[in-house]
Structure 1
Amino acid sequence: MRTQVAIIGAGPSGLLLGALLHKAGIDHVIIERQSPDYVLSRIRAGVLEQVTMDLLDAAGVGARMHREGLPHDGFDLCFDGRRHRIDLHALTGRKVMVYGQTEVTRDLMDARTAAGLGTVYNASDVQLHDFNGTQPRVTFTAKGEAHEVHADFIVGCDGFHGVARASVPTDAMQTFEKVYPFGWLGVLADVPPVHEELIYASDERGFALCSMRSKSRVRYYVQCSLEDKVEQWSDDAFWDELKRRLPAEDAARMVTGPSIEKSIAPLRSFVAEPMRFGRLFLAGDAAHIVPPTGAKGLNLAASDVGLLSHALTDYYRGNAVGIDTYSERALSRIWKAERFSWWFTSLMHRFPDTGAFGRRMQSAELDYLVKSEAAMTAMAENYVGLPLNV
């Protein structure tokens, strides 16, 4: 098979890149090692920045997001038993959209099917070859048969554990990583949200987040030990712990119910540099991971894809500047988002070595933050997302 761009991974970043390349008339193929049902079963982020919304609109898949998503003008910070609103729209003129990653993926899959574009699912033994030369190839097995794809470029959108980054020689890449000493226990439940906007809570017992996927489905989290197991947490134990980390009025108003899904996610900050290796590009979780505090993961992946789709479109029109500067421009935005996610995580969570002094510093910073328009503006600018600057 011959194509212009071979995309490894059919998650939201790979599918979005495919949709944008299709709009630009660029031939491509998407290769995914899992099944469509598995891809859709991943429970992930639900807050979209304006940049991500704009890219989904450009790809022609934004209609259901605008129809069913929940635009949010702000969110609440909770500490010392009180909630303080960060008015995103008043501070920046922008909003965010609450719309689950699963729904984004579904919309992209449906649009791909409607356009008659195929995706190779359940591909095994995926290998990348010769991407440092001029004739890169991808080999894989699907339905018991061996396949080979020749492409101008390969894009790795296959996540942190994917084959794309693993194919790069270790001496060609530098990695930066911070592993946090706690996780998030998350519960998905079909109950009305406790509040119309997100609540980020910092409590003596640990962090908590009240988020939602719709007006009747919530995604709530509590900070937990990395040694905890999901089986140790009954639904009742989760709801009791969450209520203890919220103001009394919110705890009293909260509607509880059986969990649809329950999982524990570790927190990590990770960046791989550079993001281009000859004719191989990395995008999304293949190149970077952020803690979920502030919901930057999916949005960073979308911004990578936005930069890369513009760069590839320019390349096929005779201008190679975009692909030559992709890594530098993407990493500039990535490191700013990494900084924000690290700062927000450090501010809101209890660390094993926080101690009494550290806790007072967190309280003082939170108190300063909600009383300073300059500090709130800086936070709001980062939360709604920095410009893409394509």
Structure 2
Amino acid sequence: MHFGPIERVPGDPILGLMESYAKDANPNKFDLGVGVYKDAMGLTPVLAAVKQAEQRLLDRQTSKTYVGGHGDSTFGQLLSELVLGSDSRLLRELRVGATQTPGGTGALRLCADFIKHCLPGRGIWLSDPTWPIHETIFATAGLKVGHYPYVGQDNRLNVPAMLAALEAVPKGDIVLLHACCHNPTGFDLSQADWKQVLDVVRRRDLLPLIDFAYQGFGDGLEQDAWAVRLFAEALPELLITSSCSKNFGLYRERTGALLVCASDAQKLLDVRSQLAFIARNLWSTPPDHGAAVVAEILGNPGLKSLWADEVEGMRLRIAQLRSGLLEALAPYGLSEHFAHIGVQRGMFSYTGLTSAQVQQLREKHSVYMVGSGRANVAGIDATRLDALAKAISEVCTA
């Protein structure tokens, strides 16, 4: 028996939550687990800009042949401009290059293998907590994974502890930072905080990897890029993973990129040669459709304007859901207790609910969220905020 010794591993907890939610027969159930945006109808829509771009591609495309190892070059250029700004000095100096990947997760895996292969012996440092996939991707690639404090047991952002920990990180190691809409907590650094982090990174000669998965969902498309652009202008080298899953609604199309900022154009070519080699052995060439859609949108002023309006609409709806939930909790005397929900940014909230309270919400009220208390605010039904608040109040006062 060849497969006899193979053991079963636990399934992904979030995907398992999806299955439990699907099996729940309660018509009044809440899905606050999986990280997808939902509109007022409870659907994850195909954006109008995406629909129009797809139609244009359908009418115009004449081939489905492979794209190159770095993917669609137009996509890479336009996404780099979106992330760094069209007037970025790095773009003019040919110091930045984008390698298209299967989603932001693929960008992270490419980055992990690049570090392992080209920067041997370097460790990577993640926030505590962070997106669980961060942990497994870098560990699976064989990197030594460390952690720096971010949000503590009191459910508060702890910048002094974060800075102190980064001061102790070995020189040359990689530190992963969330550009905005921190997953899973929703707590973001202020501009003053970012400047302090940059100071430590520069003095300790650390290599930043900025994960940029939610551009436009925090304070706006330009505002959310502030920290990324700060680091890109201040440092000679930088890694950025960018995802188009959320802001373009291209979840299943698996569209993302790894952006590398190098000290000069020649060194960038060296790095990109290594990335192409690694990517060839991971997925050969990336999927084209999502990237072609993004390139069509970003390359057409009318479509780009429509898309930007749609992203802003999603951002505002999430912000309104946060404030609406706080208002719904007020009659139960809990608005102050959960005031942090209004401070957090993006789709996710570290609610502060305990694992026992999360379990009670699931069993008694069919409210599904991750055991850590992370809730996908973008999954809340705005018409049922009162019912959700009532359920939360019952488990908080039990």
TM-score by length of structure 2 reads: 0.24
- Relative contact order, higher structure (CA 8 A, sep 6+): 2
TM-score by length of structure 1 reads: 0.25
Looking at secondary structure, tell me which structure has more helix per residue: 2
